[in-house]
Structure 1
Amino acid sequence: MRFASLGSGSEGNALLISSGAGASRTTVMLDCGFGIKETERRLARLGMLPGDLNGIVVTHEHSDHVGGVFKFARRHRVPVWLSFGTWQAVQRDCHGVDIALCRDGDRLAIGDLELSPYTVPHDAREPIQYVISDGRVRLGVLTDAGQSTPHLVQSLGGCDALVLECNHDRAMLASSSYPYPLKQRIGGAYGHLSNDTAGEILALLDRSRLQRIVGAHLSQQNNTPALARQALEGALGGAGPEIMIACQAEGFDWIDIAA
């Protein structure tokens, strides 16, 4: 199994997960916050065409995650999976798109991939994140959550790779020019994960299989890659999984997960 990012941040998010080989390969896109042409351009950069996608799975209705989903899906006839709450928020955009519902605890199969949705605390209708497996390895994804919960810690335990939100540095956010209500929203219990909180979550996880960690969804105004990396390294206490940081402009290239 392998994964790659088209881009990660408040201006747009999309993650590819792929398993298999040749004509039997399964590839899903997690969220799509870019327009059709920009999504096509970023897919091409990763050696992919729209027709290579077997489905799009959605985390929640905020525009940096869902803004391009339905136009792209309609243009290229790609089915979409999302929670009922998310569907309620975006149903006016779903005309002509093959929609399926999913929820926490109900695993869904797309080709060779099995996806396990789990709920997270975020200011959306019914936000979910996913653990994806091809039967041999597991990729955990956690972005757009305001705090740690026992449920998300349990859901992400035993993963081989992890995409983990490191949205902001608390001190940078506090001293930023953002309006006070926005600071409260981002740093609140239903906002986004700070570097410190991401590190606390990482420290709680079963990391016995963990090979790779990608810090994701960094704020361009209120964080730096160096600060995010420092928080993740601190949680690991030295030696451990390889750490890298995703960016808004380039995302990151394909990463293979070894069984």
Structure 2
Amino acid sequence: MRFASLGSGSKGNALIVDAGETKVLLDCGFSTRAATTRLARLGAAPADLNAIVVTHEHADHVGGVFAFARRHQLTVYLTHGTHAVAARGQTCLPECRLIDGHTPFAIGALEVQPFPVPHDAREPVQYAFSDGRHRLGVLTDSGCITPHIVEVLRACDALVLECNHDQALLAASRYPPALKQRIAGRFGHLENDQAATLLRQVDTQRLQHLVAAHLSQENNRPELAVKALASALDCSDDWIGVADQEGGFGWRQLI
């Protein structure tokens, strides 16, 4: 199993998980043309994909999902709450399958485990993916860490983990107070130290890859996110990956 990011940040998110004959896109916050171009940079194409799974209805995650899925005849998996909000105003939807946020399901060779997260959306989830040998956990767009999140991510071979902001940078930013409170609140986004705290609560013995994701371009710096995660793992800074808005990150193989 391997995985890569098409881009990560407030202007668009998408991640591809590849288990051989099964390839799944997680979110698509890019236009169909941009998503296709970003896939091509990874040596992939829309025709390679089997489905799209969606975390929540915010535009940087779902903005391109329905158009891309219609164009390439892909099934979209999402919660009832996300579907109810995201489908508003859509005149023609692709095939959608409503999922329970606590119940795993299969897409080809992949077992997909959704799990609820605290975020200011209708019914948001994040996902863990397994091919039977390896497990990839993805956690972004969560305002805080819950015991259930810890349980789901307890023993992964790879983690893509939100490091949205640095607390001091957010406090000093030009953002209005209400927006600062939203971002830093229990239904906002994880900051660097919260992500590090999660790492200290899970079993990282199997961890082959750790990537900081969904970094705010205004309220974080890659080196701050890396320092926090490396400190939690007691590893060198260069072992930590960072997903950026323009390039995401390249393929990472689980062995």
Q: 2:226·2:237 contact (CA, 8 Å) conserved in 1?
A: no
Match of 2:79 in 1: 83
Distance in 2 of aligned mates of 1:202 and 1:156: 9
Query: Gaps spanning 5+ residues in structure 2: where?
Result: none
CA 1:176–1:151 in structure 2 vs 1: closer, same or farther (change >3 Å)? same
Distance in 2 of aligned mates of 1:111 and 1:77: 16
Q: 1:5·1:14 contact (CA, 8 Å) conserved in 2?
A: yes
Amino acid at match of 1:88: A
Q: 1:7·1:15 contact (CA, 8 Å) conserved in 2?
A: yes
What's the % identity of the aligned pairs? 57
Match of 2:25 in 1: 29
TM-score with structure 1 setting the length:
0.96
Residues 53-202 of structure 1 correspond to what in structure 2 (within 5 A)? 53-92=49-88, 93=90, 95-202=92-199
Match of 1:243 in 2: 240
Query: Gaps spanning 5+ residues in structure 1: where?
Result: none
Q: 2:140·2:162 contact (CA, 8 Å) conserved in 1?
A: yes
In structure 1, the residue corresponding to 2:6 is in which secondary structure? Answer: strand
Distance in 1 of aligned mates of 2:118 and 2:108: 29
Shift of residue 106 of structure 1?
A: 1.2
Is 1:51 the counterpart of 2:47 in the alignment? yes
In structure 2, the residue corresponding to 1:255 is in which secondary structure? Answer: strand
In structure 2, the residue corresponding to 1:101 is in which secondary structure? Answer: strand
Moved over 3 A (4+): 238-242
Shift of residue 187 of structure 1?
A: 0.5
Q: 2:144·2:186 contact (CA, 8 Å) conserved in 1?
A: yes
CA 1:110–1:144 in structure 2 vs 1: closer, same or farther (change >3 Å)? same
Distance in 2 of aligned mates of 1:116 and 1:95: 28
Shift of residue 230 of structure 1?
A: 0.4
Query: When the two structures are aligned, how many residues end up with a matched partner?
Result: 254
CA 1:172–1:162 in structure 2 vs 1: closer, same or farther (change >3 Å)? same
Match of 1:3 in 2: 3
Shift of residue 212 of structure 1?
A: 1.0
Q: 2:80·2:123 contact (CA, 8 Å) conserved in 1?
A: yes
Match of 2:203 in 1: 206
Q: 1:139·1:160 contact (CA, 8 Å) conserved in 2?
A: yes
In structure 2, the residue corresponding to 1:192 is in which secondary structure? Answer: coil
In structure 2, the residue corresponding to 1:18 is in which secondary structure? Answer: strand
TM-score with structure 2 setting the length:
0.97
Match of 1:18 in 2: 18
Amino acid at match of 1:242: W
Is 1:230 the counterpart of 2:230 in the alignment? no
Q: Deviations over 1:199-253 (max 9, x none)?
A: 0011111212111100000000100110000000111123699311110000011
Q: 1:119·1:128 contact (CA, 8 Å) conserved in 2?
A: yes
